């Protein structure tokens, strides 16, 4: 098992432990596979945002595909590839062509990757996008109409996006949802979520969402909810 550590590094008051990818053994022991803080500091993106700059990054999403790990970093705006031997390279620098879009999530497809972005606050509904990224790091398609995307799941011709908050302003209770995109058509399939933060598809074909994953939800109320796809 591999784990992504995000809230570490000197800029998060953890000077002795960097943002990392950890390799976890069946007995619970672990080793550091890659130092992501070091990589992000040694390899700056083209257009970092001065007003929202985080020296260690704020890595958010990690997937495994084709024997490689891919980590999404929203603050600098990049997707990085990590081999199982710990070599880190950059797949794409979103800041170079898209600006400060705050990418959060990625999924592998037969032709490349689908990525989604949170955007900046205050929230403007419909301002987030689906990005099609090829395997050499080029953006080949942008589909608008999403809002505050924090997770993406691809299932055949359908792509499911978890939206942190679908209303204007700032995140509030009950405004999270899951939408399905087929082509450019967007259909809402679940509503009423409270600041959800992650989503995956289970082997049973249902979606599983981490709910109450961030403020303004109070501590101790986090949960996993199952969403049956209609």
DSSP 70-131: EEEETTTTEEEEEETT--EEEEEEHHHHH-S--EEEEEE-SSSEEEEE---SSB-TT-EEEE
Task: Note the pLDDT of residue 35.
Answer: 98
Distance, in Å, from the CA atom of 31 to the CA atom of 205, rounded to the nearest integer, reads 33
Buried b (16+ CB within 10 A) or exposed e, 103-118: bbbbbbeeebbbbbbb
Of the chain, the percentage scoring pLDDT greater than 90 comes to: 98
pLDDT tens string 123-159: 999 999 999 999 999 999 999 999 999 999 999 999 9
CB 115 within 8 A of CB 103: yes
Strand-by-strand arrangement of the 88-93 sheet:
61-65, 68-73, 78-83, 88-93
Mean pLDDT of 27-56: 97
Task: Note the pLDDT of residue 73.
Answer: 98
pLDDT tens string 177-197: 999 999 999 999 999 999 999
> What's this model's pTM, rounded to 2 decimal places?
0.96
Strand partners, 146: 128
Mean pLDDT score of the chain, rounded to an integer? 96
Task: Note the pLDDT of residue 18.
Answer: 97
Task: Note the pLDDT of residue 26.
Answer: 96
Q: In terms of pLDDT, which residue wins out, 230 or 178?
A: 178
- 34: confidence class by pLDDT, cuts 50, 70, 90: very high
Q: How far is CA 93 from CA 2, 41, 121, in A?
A: 23, 14, 21
H or E stretch covering 35: strand 30-35
User: Going from the N-terminus, what domains does the chain have, and what CATH number goes with each?
Assistant: 1-100 (no CATH), 102-230 (2.120.10.30)
Rg (CA), the chain: 17
Distance, in Å, from the CA atom of 105 to the CA atom of 118, rounded to the nearest integer, reads 9
């Amino acid at each position: 098992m591999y784990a992504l550590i995000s809230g570490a590094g000197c800029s998060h008051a953890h000077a002795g432990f960097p943002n990392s990818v950890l390799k976890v053994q069946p007995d619970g022991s672990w080793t550091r596979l890659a130092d992501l803080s070091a990589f992000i500091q040694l390899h700056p993106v083209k257009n970092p945002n001065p007003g929202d700059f985080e020296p260690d990054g704020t890595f958010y999403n990690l997937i495994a595909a084709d024997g490689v790990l891919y980590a999404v970093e929203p603050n600098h705006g990049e997707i990085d590839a990590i081999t199982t031997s710990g070599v880190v390279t950059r797949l794409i620098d979103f800041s170079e062509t898209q600006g400060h879009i705050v990418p959060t999530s990625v999924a592998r497809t037969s032709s490349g990757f689908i990525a989604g972005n949170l955007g900046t606050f205050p929230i403007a509904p419909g301002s987030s996008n689906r990005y099609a990224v090829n395997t050499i790091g080029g953006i080949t398609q942008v589909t608008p109409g999403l809002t505050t995307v924090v997770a993406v799941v691809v299932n055949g011709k359908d792509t499911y996006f978890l939206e942190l908050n679908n209303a204007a302003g700032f995140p509030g209770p009950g405004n999270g949802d899951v939408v399905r995109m087929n082509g450019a058509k967007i259909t809402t399939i679940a509503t009423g979520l409270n600041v959800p933060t992650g989503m995956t598809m289970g082997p049973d074909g249902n979606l599983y969402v981490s709910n109450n994953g961030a403020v303004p939800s109070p501590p101790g109320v986090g949960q996993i909810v199952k969403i049956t796809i209609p």
